[in-house]
Structure 1
Amino acid sequence: MPRPAIFVTRKLPPDVEARLSRDYDAALSRADSLPSRETILAGATGKDGLLVTVTDRIDGDLIRALPETVRVIATFSVGYDHIDITAAKARGIAVTNTPDVLTDATAEIALLLMLGAARNATSAIATLRSGQWKNWAPTGMLGMEITGNRLGILGLGRIGRATAHRARAFGMEIHYHNRRRLDPKDEAGANYHADIESLFRVSNVLSLHCASTPETRRIVNRETIALLPDNAVVVNTARGDIVDDDALIEALASGRLAAAGLDVFANEPNLDPRYLDLPNAFLLPHLGSATRETRNAMGFRALDNLDAFFAGQTPRDLLTA
């Protein structure tokens, strides 16, 4: 029997592409540029499935325009807000994602952002690299210790719990808000807050780990920032649109917040350029899953889902059940 034909929108790790080429009739991406809608539709011609990434906007119009041959879309990501799941279900197209495998890598970045933001790393690094560091000073480049501080986690899922586990090593007191309270074993001593207002009021450091939904978009805004303690730190490894950029930039520029550590941005890679001028903004270019181990694991998880689908089985990470 002929191997299933798969269109791959971005260049993937070599080991993942090797398995793709072995098991599928795979049209791989060589240029690794962000594909346009037209490129995706052209690449999907005659294909049985698509392997896409978080950078690809697979909206309802695109899904409805896909060739009838396309039966499955596997995304190389945990998040799937870039795919119109409802439209895919209406077309009978299966959609899968890659949860679990990037938990530890993203939690590590959350801690890096916390420390970098709280310890004034952006300003300190700029001082060092520009040759302006002349001597040690008792009052120079002061930051905030996270040790013993209260960490508020918005979304205590897999990554949130992994972040909390690491933060406990710093003696941080863990607080969280979810739509539903977790079992005590999953809380691991964390303090539950039934609403975000209560959580924000106690969060010296606020770490965002919730999904992007209509309810969470711009949930960090002027009103909720006003609830945070003075000199709080905001960390985001979730999705950029959870944050109202105008409100966060205003709070950082005015000193209402001590700092922010951001790995994700609205409209990335076209982040709001005002962030670049803020010495108390510690910024990374979406590095949450950027380890060799994790990117391989993401690719293999996506391929496991494709293997199951074409074998007539239910994929482990099916989103359109």
Structure 2
Amino acid sequence: MKNVFITRKIDEKVISRLSEQFNVDFWPHEDQVCPREELLKQAKRCNALLTMLSDQVNAELLDQGGDDLEIVANLAVGYDNIEVEEAKKRGVMITNTPDVLTDTTADLAFSLLMASARRIVESDRYIKDGNWKSWSPYLLAGKDIHHKTLGIVGMGNIGQAVAQRAKGFDMDILYHTRSRKKEAEEKYNAKHAELDELLTKSDFVLCLAPLTEQTKGMLGSEQFKKMKKSAILINAGRGPVVDEEALIEALKNGEIAGAGLDVFDKEPIDKDHPLLSLANVVAVPHIGSASVETRFAMMDLCAENIINVLSGKDPVTPVK
């Protein structure tokens, strides 16, 4: 039987599905990264790896796998933790989990927007700390969402799902991406804009861009200066797309009004990181796709990809 290694403890149903056909082993912790030494050891003996974003799949690991390693199934839609070209050179199939997490991630992105605009986290803390003594006209007054302009940087499936939600709030939608999305323009009355125009006109800037050499640090000091002082940045894509040092300065200096962040330059972010000391920042621990239903669907899709490839069939969602 062929061997499969999973780098975290996942749903028993998925493990059982794989175990029907393969020898399955896994790192027995949900909340601890599989040690590098263990992952390298397992790569040497396995035909398939089911990995997380925290696992670096590079030339070193792929070489350990040698001719026996057939597939790395990544439990994410993104795959910036994987050296895809190195995998191609060695004939190792890389798969991801698109589509099944689109709506769940869009829900989280829009909830970050709402929480940041209406100061939900601040208000929760305010009342729990016993500070609410009386009603006052501007007590924790936030910003309206309806009839405002949302600028989406990265108009893939998740961006379009957010646009659908934004239309329910009568928002105007601008978007910036490498190629125009004519269907989205028609469906959501979205308008394509160059990045500078989007930053200048938007009340909320939502970053969903993938991490590439071109997008790394694309939102920095220069870009924050172009945004409205009343604008809020939401990042539910990849942390390194935003220059965190520049973001901290922009928030402290009032160049922008706030930020809602699901992703960070280095994860997990340290509890003493300067971003976390700012009242106008809502921060959550990379939970974009973290609903029970969606995480199971992602795991099950990884299993299906592994079963197909190890059985000589085509994967469902190959990274091309």
Contact 1:118 1:258 in 2 (8 A): no
For 1:307, the aligned partner's letter is: I
Task: Kindly indicate whether the alpha-carbon contact (under 8 Å) linking 1:46 and 1:67 is maintained by their aligned counterparts in 2.
Answer: no
Distance 2:292 2:266 in 1: 25
Structure 1 unaligned segments of length 5 or more: list them: none
Aligned position for 2:256: 257
Deviation at 1:99, TM superposition (A): 0.4
Match of 2:152 in 1: 153
Are 1:90 and 2:86 matched, yes or no? no
Does the C-alpha gap of structure 1 residues 303 and 186 become closer, same or farther in structure 2, counting only changes over 3 Å? farther
**Residues of 2 paired with 1:114 and 1:318: CA distance?**
32
Partner in structure 2 of residue 23 of structure 1: 21
1:245 corresponding residue in structure 2: 244
Runs of 4+ more than 4 Å apart: none
Equivalence for 1:104: 103
Partner secondary structure for residue 23 of structure 1 = coil
Query: Over the residues paired in the alignment, what is the CA RMSD in angstroms?
Result: 1.5
1:206-264 Cα deviation digits (max 9, x unpaired): 00111110111111100111111221000011111111001111111122211100011
Aligned to 1:309: 309
Which piece of structure 1 moves more, 64-73 or 35-44? 64-73
Q: Work out whether 1:7 is the aligned partner of 2:5.
A: yes
Report how far residue 316 of structure 1 moved: 2.2
TM-score, normalising length from structure 2? Answer: 0.95
Unpaired segments ≥5 residues, structure 2: none
* Contact 2:18 2:307 (C-alpha < 8 Å) held by counterparts: no
2:138 is matched with which residue?
139
Alignment partner, residue 207 of structure 2: 208
CA–CA distance in 2 between the matches of 1:312 and 1:18?
Answer: 20
Cα distance 1:19–1:28, how it changes in 2: closer, same or farther (>3 A)?
A: same
Counterparts of 1:319 and 1:184 in 2: how far apart (Å)?
24
Amino acid at match of 1:229: K
Structure 1 residue identity aligned to 2:252: A
Aligned-partner SS, 1:230: coil
Question: Paired residue for 2:171?
Answer: 172
1:159-198 counterparts in 2 under 5 A? 159-184=158-183, 187-188=186-187, 189-193=189-193, 195-198=194-197
Q: In 2 relative to 1, CA 302–263 (structure 1 residues): closer, same or farther, beyond 3 Å? A: same
In the alignment of these two chains, the number of paired residues is 317
The one-character-per-residue Cα deviations of 1:24-71 (angstroms, maximum 9, x if unpaired) are 211022133202221101122321111101111112332233343211
Match of 1:47 in 2: 46
Tell me which moved more, 56-65 or 86-95: 56-65
Q: Distance in 1 between matches of 2:109 and 2:296?
A: 21
Residues of 2 paired with 1:161 and 1:84: CA distance?
28
Q: Check 1:145–1:307 CA distance in 2 against 1; reply closer, same or farther (3 A cut).
A: same
